Structures are given as C-alpha cells and as structure tokens.
Amino acid sequence: MESLGDTLWDVVIYGTGLQQSLLALSLSRSGKKILHLDPNDYYGGPDAALSLQETEAWVEHISHPANPATGVFRSSSITKPDGATGLSFPRAYSLALAPQVIHARSTLLSQLVSSRAYRQVEFLAVGSFFVFNPPSTPDEKPSLARIPSTREDVFSEPTISMKAKRGLIKFLKFVLDYEGESQRDVWTPHADGQLTDFLQKQFNLDAQLQAYVVALTLSLDGKISTKDGLAIIYRHLTSMGLFGPGFAAVYPKWGGLSEIAQVACRAGAVGGAVYMLGTSIQKLETRESEIELHLSSGDVVKTQLLVRNDEITDDGSGVSRMVAVVRSTLKELFEPLVEGAPLPAVAVVAFPRGLVGDDGTPTNPVYLFAHSSDTGECPVGQCVLYLTTLRTSDSKKFLNKALNCFLESINEGQKPQSLYQLYYEQARGAVESRAEGLIHNLPDASLSLSFDDSTLEPMKAVWEKMLSDAPAEAEYMVFPDRDVGQDEEELYD
Amino acid sequence: MSQHGIARSTRVRTEEQKLLEIERIKKYRALEDQVRSRASRTDYTAELFHLTSQLLRLNPEYYTTWNVRRRCLISSLLSKPSPGSSLSRASPSSSPAATPTRPSASSSSSSSTAIPPSPGSPTAGTSGTTAEAGQTKDAEILTSELTFTIPLLIDSPKCYWIWNYRLWILQQIIERLPIAAARQVWEDELGLASKMLNKDRRNFHAWGYRRQVVEKLESAVLEGQSMVEPEFAYTDKMIRTDLSNFSAWHRRSKLIPRLLDERRADDASRRAFLDKELALIREALNVGPEDQSLWYYHQYLVLNLVTTAGRPTIAPALATEDRVTYLTRELVDIKDLLEDYVGVKLIYEALMEYTMYMCQLEERKPDADERAQLIEWLRQLKKLDPMRKGRWEDAERDYGLAEPRFTIT
C-alpha cells in the first residue's frame, strides 16, 4: 500500500470547517488526489457542534496560555448556575458553533441539491421571528411580538393600526420588486443611508415597524444600509413558502453547518479523498512547485496546493456569543401558524437597538436563536439558546441581561431555568481569500447570523483553478446521481 | 397537469429516451388490449381486476377502465348480497356511465346492479356468520381500493374519475358495512380532503369533494349531525393561510345562512355577526385591495344589506336607515384605501357599484357630488383597464354621465 508520503497530492485541505468541506465536496468527482486533514478529533472546525465534554476541552484549549489570545475564538468560559439540576449526560448535547439559519433561496442549498449532498441532511424549519418588548409598566411581564412577513401575517396581527398596516404592505410589495426600474429610482439615492431612515421617510413606518423590518435583516449593529437591508429582506420574502408553507429559512438537524460539513466530507471520502483527523501540520516547507508538510502523525507529504484558513487575526471587534441550555420546551415559540406548515425547530428573537442597556446607554441589538430538542442538540424537555451581539466591553453583561429578560417573557408557570452557559468571543480577521504562492488562505468564518452566500465564492475560485485543465463541461457542484432511479421502470414490468 | 402558478414544462427527449418511450407505448397498448378484450367478453374476474390496476397506474384518466374495475368488484370480488339485504333492493349503483364500451351479445347478463340470488342458491337463508364474513372481506377490499387511489390522486389531483371512484367506493362502504365503521371511513375521508387542500388550496375538485363528504357525514344515513360550525371554522383557517382563496370565501358565504339558522340567531346577534364579517373583510381588503376574491366576498356582504327580496339575508330585520349607515361607512372606508393604494382598479369599481347601490337603497338618482365622483372613478377605470373601455363607456351612459358623442344638426 502506498504511504501518504509517496503520493504527490493535488491538494491538501487543512481543516474541516464548512468552507474546506464544501471544497472537498466540489472536488469529489474530479479524480484529484486529495488529502483532507483536521487537527481536531472531530469534523467541523470552527463550525463544529460540540458535546459538553468537547466544549470543555475546546474552552481549555482556547484559554491555554500557550495559545495566542488573538485567534478566531477568545475569552471563553463555562458557567453552570447554582442549584441548576437536570443537565443530562455530555453526549446528549450538541452545541453548534455556527448556528446560522439558511434562507430557502440560498445558493448553498441549491449547491447541495445539484451536488446531491442534500439527501443526507435533514433540514428543519425556522419558524417565527419575534421582537422582544420590554414591559410597559414594572408590574407587567415583558413580551414577544411576532414579526409579520407575509400579507396574511399582517392581516392577522391585531397590534398594528389599519393605516400602519397599509404602509407595511406597501413596503413588502416594494421590496419584492426592488430591482425594478421605478423602484430603483426610489431607493438608489438612499442606498448608503440607513434603512430605518428610508422606511420612515418613504413609507411612513413608525418605530415599531422599523424595528420589525430591521430585525428581519438580523443586522448586528442595527444600522444596516438601505442597499444591504433591501437585499436581505428581498431574500427573506422570496424564500418564504419556497420549501413549504410558513417558513423562509431552514436549519440542518444535528448541529447546523457542522452537519453540512460532515456530509460534504463524507462525499469527499466516497470520491476517494483521504481523511485524517487529529492531525496537525507541524512544519511547512515551500519549494518551487510543491509544498512539503510535516504532519503530527509523523508523515511527510508533498502537495501542489495547500488550502487552509488564514492566520491573520484582527485587533478588536467581532461578536460575543452565549450558548445557554434551558430547562423548558419553550413551546410557545415553536408553533406553526399556518395550515399545513411543519413544526419549526428554530425561532428567532430580536432585541432591537437600544433596548437591553441600562437607562441612557445605547446598546447594540442582541439576537437570540432558540433551538428546540428537535434539532438533536439537547434532550427532550430542554432547549438551546444561542445569543449573539457585537463585542464591546459590556457585551457579556448585555448577553446575560438579554437571556434573563427573555426567560422572563416566557409564559409558563415558573421562569425557565438555565442549566449551562458557554460564553465566547469570535473574531473575523481575514475577510477575503489570500494567495500565498502555493498556499491558498481562505477567509475566516462569517459572523453573519444568516448564511451569507458570498462566503461560497472563494471555494469556487479554488475549484476553477484546480480544474483549469478539465473539460469545459464540468459544472461547479453539479453531479449526476450515483445510482439511477428505478421507480418508473417498475410500472412497466 | 397544471397547478396554480406552476407552469407546465416541456421535456427535451434524446434518441435513447424516444426508443424507451416507444417500448413503453407498446407495453401500454398490449395491456389496454387485454383489458378491452376481456371486458368485451364480460370476463369480470379477479385477473381482469389486476390488469385494470396496472392500466390505471399508467393512465388514471381512462375512465372506462374505472368502470371495468367496478364491474369486477361487483361481479366477482365483493360479496353477494343475502336476500333481504339493502343491496338486493338497491337501485342501480350511483356510479356514472355504467354502460359497456362495446356492445356485445352477452352484455345483458352483466348489468351494473347486484344480482339477487335465486331461491335455491347457497346464500339463501344465510346464517349470521356468513354475512359477517362477507362484510369483513368487503371491508378489506374496499379499504384497499381507497388505498389504491391515493398515489393516483396525489399524482393527478384534478382527475374527475379518481374522485368519482372514491365516492363510489365510499358509497359501497355505506351499503355494505355497519354504520359505525362506515362513518369512521367517511370521517377519515374528510381528513384526506383537507390534506389535498393543503397541497393546492384552490383545487376546486377538493373543495367540491369536501362539500359532498360533509353532506354525507351530516346525513341520517351515517347518523350524523350538522357540521356547519366546524366547516365555518375551517374556512377561517384557510383564509388566514391564504387570503386569495376564492373557494374558501365562497364556501364561507354558502354556510352563513344555515349557520345563523342553527344558532337560532336573533336580530341582535345577526347584526353582531354582520358587523364581525364586515370587520374581517375590511381588514383583508386593507392589506389586499388588488385581490378579486376579497371584493367578491365584500360584495356578497353588501348585497345582503342592499337586497331584501327573494332570499335569506344575514340581518333581514335591519331598517333602511341602518342599511344606509352601513353602506355609508363602507364607502368611507373604501375611499380611505385610495390614500395609500394607487392604481388599483378594483377599488374604483367597488366605489362606483356601491354608490349606485346607495342610490338604489334610497330610491334616488346620484346627486351632484356623486356624479362628479363617478365621472372621476370612471376616468380612472378607463385609464387602468383600457381593455374594458366599452364597459366603462356603457356605465357612463347608464348613469347618465356621458357627454353626447355627437350632435345631430
């Protein structure tokens, strides 16, 4: 049997994050010699889903003094609130580091379909989007208001006035055709201005409705531009109902993007790629037409191309994240409100700009993604909450506050208990691909809360470069079925 | 086969695919010939029955095949009725077109009615257990028939023959099985109709089918009671899912007279009901003024106010002045829509029509203000709907608004 060192690999892919895994998928029928490595013992890299035990090890690794404090992940900690009971065994949990929701119109999904990989992923519906409303008097509970995004939603919503509804309907209609000529004339002069100003001036939407619209964009600073905001709302509205009534986005079961990464790697393996987990690159020597890699396994391999995440780090910003396990089914969040709609497994709650801070302190929005146990990420009877906000000196405090407020708004007998909290910060140093001779550095994972299709472009570029000698008909991420369908034939026998 | 808003696609066929199709056509024709020849020999056996299964899977629209299948069931597979049973007294079955496709000498012996047994036959003086065994066998066969049609319905949800066949099977179930069992099957059938309506909310076959199933469930034959309240609630659900559902609004309007009667609604509650319906449609029009289904329903409510003679209305006891108040409010609210919705012709149409209704109610002609408004609305309509220019010009003439087109000197 050939050893790893005997082969001149066409590419060594380092890391099994979503990007690298999709690259492996795209190359899985190409016949190229691919060696796919990951220093971790699990697939998914920065997009992985971790059991509680894996989470502890992960936190330890990040906090370890030997590791740079300027990596992608920083300042992580685990808290188990006093008196909290009911936490199940570690493997009963699968906490997603990349809980992005994927809109139905997303290019990622069409790539998964055309490459046939979609069949191995179970997609769950992302249901309602809510806005958190603080109590109007101190005696009241805070509440969650469902954001209407279809004509029928607006129709059924009792808290919006008739006139305000007309404004909202006109806006929804406008967005659905926002690339049309007459619509472009209206918004392009305000393209770089704030969406909220545009909503107020052009459609007379009040603060409440502006908050609804901005919440749908999942804008981390709440100040999204008109141009970007319209594009995202357009994607949301045109995704609604695409795969079934009542939902605009999906979420892969068993840990979000990590599941897609695993499926992609599996396809890579079926296509002949060699996989090695728990293997890091210890030394790297570039020659004229190849790179020599010394692996932690002791192997020394040669490759014509190395694809990895960049090593650039940033110096600030990024996001603060909290993952909390709560002891409640949070049923009221996961109701399908349309006839024939599937039961959603994910709900989105937005804390709009300026809401969570102490009086007088403007704050950034906080977004909370609630996952029911249907996602496979926790046992039945519990939910996993993923909170995100821009990183500031107070962001950890605000996440805690948001979590608390959210739990107070839940209409159950008692306020649901938090059993486990993971806090971490994530930066995005490299935002673009960077070629370094025979090394191709991919950008860091996107911090966007909904899947950003632009992150797919770097992989396509690598694929094109690698297959530049291939026949012209090869289409990116388009594969025929491996086995032919039998159904129709049977009818005629 | 088209569904709302989904275009048919034409397939491009390669040589290979064409050859494959020719093979398939050959096989289909052979199957069809077999079925036809056996049927013409009135050979309604289990074998022919199985042949029809194959043929129907390939082409459920071939309605004669369904008739052949029915005959096979009656002649061979289903149990023969015992004397004194409802079947032996039954009139010809309710299925359509029971006549054979080919006239043949022996066809007279195979009519579509069940053949009563002769006195000397083994079934005369049947004991209870034989009848029961017959029922169990029938139940199995009829249930499997229902199952057989399901994939066909899913593939061809608008094929009349499949719906008809199901109804015929369901009727057989009423005739052959005990009432409680039959009722259960019909209740499940309501579930199927709902499922088909979830798939395509505007499939009028499914709505019509639903109506028939509900009617049967309410009837004495299945020891039923009125289902008007849950059906009314169902239309509410469908409307909230999709406001553009004409069938749902239509069904709602058809249920209202019976609903109010069964609730024994007095004048006050009738008035309250009307208020609620008007509020509902007003909210709907507020978000969907371009939607014709909504205007149809609004018109239905307004006609309830305006016409009293001839048919039952929602609140017949309303005095004329109350009706005028209602209509005035509607006109005001519709005019509000013009503030935000530009270029929606249905709004102008409604305003025009309802102004004329108002005049009708008050038994007068349009006053000067109304005339000015009507002229303006017709001007808009001519602009927004130039294809119906003739209609708008007719309206102008009818309302006495037109300028003379030419003068005779």
- Give the DSSP letter string of B317-359: T--HHHHHHHHHHHHHHHHHHHHH--S-HHHHHHHHHHHHHHH
Contact criterion met (CB < 8 Å) for A339 and B58: no
| Each residue's pLDDT tens digit, A56-97 | 999 998 888 777 666 788 889 999 988 888 899 999 999 999
- Check CB contact of B311 with chain A, cutoff 8 Å: no
Lowest pLDDT segment from A158-162, A463-467, B78-82 = B78-82
Q: Is residue B312 part of a domain?
A: yes
Contact criterion met (CB < 8 Å) for B287 and A165: yes
Contact criterion met (CB < 8 Å) for A155 and B288: yes
Q: Is residue B299 part of a domain?
A: yes
| Each residue's pLDDT tens digit, A339-349 | 778 999 999 99
**Chain A: closest CA distance from residue B102 (Å):** 26
Do A176 and A284 fall within a single domain? no
Do A357 and A219 fall within a single domain? yes
- Check CB contact of B59 with chain A, cutoff 8 Å: no
Q: Is residue B288 part of a domain?
A: yes
Residues B272, B386: Cα–Cα separation, whole Å: 41
Contact criterion met (CB < 8 Å) for B198 and A165: no
End of a domain among A375, A400, A427?
Answer: A427
Share of residues in chain B with pLDDT > 90 (%): 55
Q: Is residue A268 part of a domain?
A: yes
Residues A301, B85: Cα–Cα separation, whole Å: 87
**Chain A: closest CA distance from residue B284 (Å):** 6
Residues of chain A found within 8 Å of residue B336, distances taken between Cβ atoms:
162
**Chain B: closest CA distance from residue A174 (Å):** 12
Residue ranges making up the domain that contains A331 = 102-252+316-427
Quote the pLDDT of residue B88.
Answer: 46
The CATH code of the domain that includes A223 is: 1.10.405.10
Q: Is residue B253 part of a domain?
A: yes
**Chain A: closest CA distance from residue B128 (Å):** 42
Give the phi and the psi of residue B391 in degrees, each rounded to 5: -65, -40
Q: Is residue A68 part of a domain?
A: no
Domain count, chain A: 2
Q: Which pTM does this prediction carry?
A: 0.81
Q: Is residue A259 part of a domain?
A: yes
Half-sphere exposure of B144 (CA within 13 A, CB side): 11
Quote the Cα angle for B349-B350-B356, to 5°.
95
Quote the pLDDT of residue B82.
Answer: 59
Q: Is residue A136 part of a domain?
A: yes
Share of residues in chain A with pLDDT > 70 (%): 93
Mapping DSSP onto H, E and C, the string for chain A reads: CCCHHHCEECEEEECCCHHHHHHHHHCCCCCCCEEEECCCCCCCHHHCEECHHHHHHHHHHHHCCCCCCCCCEEEEEEECCCCCCCCCCHHHCCEECCCCEEECCCHHHHHHHHCCHHHHCCEEEEEEEEEEECCCCCCCCCEEEECCCCHHHHHHCCCCCHHHHHHHHHHHHHHHCCCCHHHHHHHHHHCCCEHHHHHHHHHCCCHHHHHHHHHHHCCCCCCCEHHHHHHHHHHHHHHCCCCCCCCCEEEECCCCHHHHHHHHHHHHHHCCCEEECCCCEEEEEECCCCEEEEECCCCEEEECCEEEECCCCCCCCCEEEEEEEECCCCHHHHCCCCCCCCCCCEEEEEECCCCCCCCCCCCCCEEEEEECHHHCCCCCCCEEEEEEEECCCCHHHHHHHHHHHHHHHCCCCCCCCEEEEEEEEECCCCCCCEEECCEEEECCCCCCCECCHHHHHHHHHHHHHHCCCCCCCCCCCCCCCCCCCCHHHHHCC
Residues A292, A303: Cα–Cα separation, whole Å: 7
Q: Is residue B120 part of a domain?
A: no
At A402, which amino acid appears? A
Quote the pLDDT of residue A358.
Answer: 64
| Each residue's pLDDT tens digit, A249-276 | 999 999 999 999 999 999 999 999 999 9
Kindly state the average pLDDT of the residues B82-104.
45
**Chain A: closest CA distance from residue B129 (Å):** 40
Do A203 and A164 fall within a single domain? yes
Do A278 and A361 fall within a single domain? no
Residues of chain A found within 8 Å of residue B24, distances taken between Cβ atoms:
492
pLDDT for residue A195 is more than 60: yes
CA torsion angle A327 A333 A338 A340 (round to 10): -20
The residue of chain A nearest to residue B27, with distances taken between CA atoms, is A492
Residue A123 token pair: 């997609």
Residues of A with CB under 8 A from a CB of B: 151-152, 154-156, 162-163, 165-167, 169-170, 245, 338-340, 491-492
pLDDT for residue B112 is more than 50: no
Q: Is residue A66 part of a domain?
A: no
Q: Which residues contact B65 (CB under 8 A, 6 or more apart)?
A: B35, B52, B55, B56, B59
Residues of chain A found within 8 Å of residue B341, distances taken between Cβ atoms:
166, 170
Domain count, chain B: 1
| A346-351 vs A102-103, strand pairing mode | unpaired
Of B198, B242, B286, the CB nearest to A162: B286
| A102-103 vs A249-252, strand pairing mode | antiparallel
Residues of chain B found within 8 Å of residue A176, distances taken between Cβ atoms:
none
| Each residue's pLDDT tens digit, B297-336 | 999 999 988 887 767 789 888 888 999 999 999 999 999 9
| Each residue's pLDDT tens digit, A171-186 | 999 999 999 999 999 9
pLDDT for residue B96 is more than 50: no
Q: Is residue B303 part of a domain?
A: yes
Quote the pLDDT of residue A139.
Answer: 84
Quote the pLDDT of residue A414.
Answer: 87
Q: Is residue A95 part of a domain?
A: no
Residue A109 token pair: 């999904």
Q: Residue A116, Cβ neighbours under 10 Å: how many?
A: 16
pLDDT for residue B100 is more than 50: no
Of A151, A162, A491, the CB nearest to B243: A151
Share of residues in chain B with pLDDT > 70 (%): 82
Residues A43, A37: Cα–Cα separation, whole Å: 10
Considering only residues 104 to 133 of chain B, which have any Cβ-Cβ distance to chain A shorter than 8 Å? none
**Site from A487, A492, A493 to mutate, B interface, most B CB atoms within 10 angstroms:** A492
Do A240 and A335 fall within a single domain? yes
Do A236 and A329 fall within a single domain? yes
Q: Is residue B260 part of a domain?
A: yes
Residues of chain B found within 8 Å of residue A170, distances taken between Cβ atoms:
340-341
Q: Which residues contact A384 (CB under 8 A, 6 or more apart)?
A: A93, A95, A96, A323, A324, A325, A326, A370, A371, A375, A377, A378
Quote the pLDDT of residue A140.
Answer: 85
End of a domain among A387, A402, A427?
Answer: A427
At A350, which amino acid appears? A
Do A455 and A401 fall within a single domain? no
Q: Is residue B372 part of a domain?
A: no
| Each residue's pLDDT tens digit, B17-43 | 889 899 999 999 999 999 999 999 988
pLDDT for residue B101 is more than 80: no
Contact criterion met (CB < 8 Å) for B340 and A163: yes
Do A229 and A347 fall within a single domain? yes
Contact criterion met (CB < 8 Å) for B287 and A169: yes
Q: Residue A210, Cβ neighbours under 10 Å: how many?
A: 21
The residue of chain B nearest to residue A338, with distances taken between CA atoms, is B241
Quote the pLDDT of residue B6.
Answer: 54
Query: Comparing C-alpha atoms, which of A376, A117, A340, A364 is closest to residue A243?
Result: A340
Q: Is residue A107 part of a domain?
A: yes
Quote the pLDDT of residue B205.
Answer: 80
**Site from A150, A151, A335, A484 to mutate, B interface, most B CB atoms within 10 angstroms:** A151
Determine the length of chain B: 409
Contact criterion met (CB < 8 Å) for B241 and A245: yes
Do A442 and A351 fall within a single domain? no
Tell me what the pLDDT averaged over chain A comes to.
90
Residues of chain B found within 8 Å of residue A167, distances taken between Cβ atoms:
340
pLDDT for residue A11 is more than 80: yes
CA torsion angle B398 B403 B404 B409 (round to 10): 160
Kindly state the average pLDDT of the residues A412-433.
90
Give the phi and the psi of residue A48 in degrees, each rounded to 5: -70, 165
Residue ranges making up the domain that contains B258 = 226-332
- Check CB contact of B253 with chain A, cutoff 8 Å: no
Q: Is residue A84 part of a domain?
A: no
The residue of chain B nearest to residue A488, with distances taken between CA atoms, is B58
Exposure letters A270-289 (e unless 16+ CB within 10 A, then b): ebebbbbeebebeeeeeeee
- Check CB contact of B171 with chain A, cutoff 8 Å: no
- Check CB contact of B29 with chain A, cutoff 8 Å: no
Do A121 and A269 fall within a single domain? no
Contact criterion met (CB < 8 Å) for A339 and B238: yes
Residues of chain B found within 8 Å of residue A491, distances taken between Cβ atoms:
54, 57-58
Of A155, A339, A492, the CB nearest to B287: A155
Confidence of residue B98 (pLDDT cuts 50, 70, 90): very low
- Check CB contact of B17 with chain A, cutoff 8 Å: no
Do A175 and A33 fall within a single domain? no
Do A204 and A337 fall within a single domain? yes
Give the phi and the psi of residue B183 in degrees, each rounded to 5: -60, -40
Of A152, A165, A170, the CB nearest to B242: A152
* Complex confidence, ipTM: 0.78
DSSP-derived secondary structure for B257-313: HHHHHHTT--HHHHHHHHHHHHHHHHHHHHH-TT-HHHHHHHHHHHHHHH--SSS--
Residues of chain B found within 8 Å of residue A162, distances taken between Cβ atoms:
283, 286, 336
Distance of CA A15 to the CA centre of its chain: 18
Residues B299, B295: Cα–Cα separation, whole Å: 6
Residues A277, B16: Cα–Cα separation, whole Å: 46
Quote the pLDDT of residue A354.
Answer: 66
Contact criterion met (CB < 8 Å) for A156 and B240: yes
Query: Comparing C-alpha atoms, which of B140, B135, B153 is closest to residue B61?
Result: B153
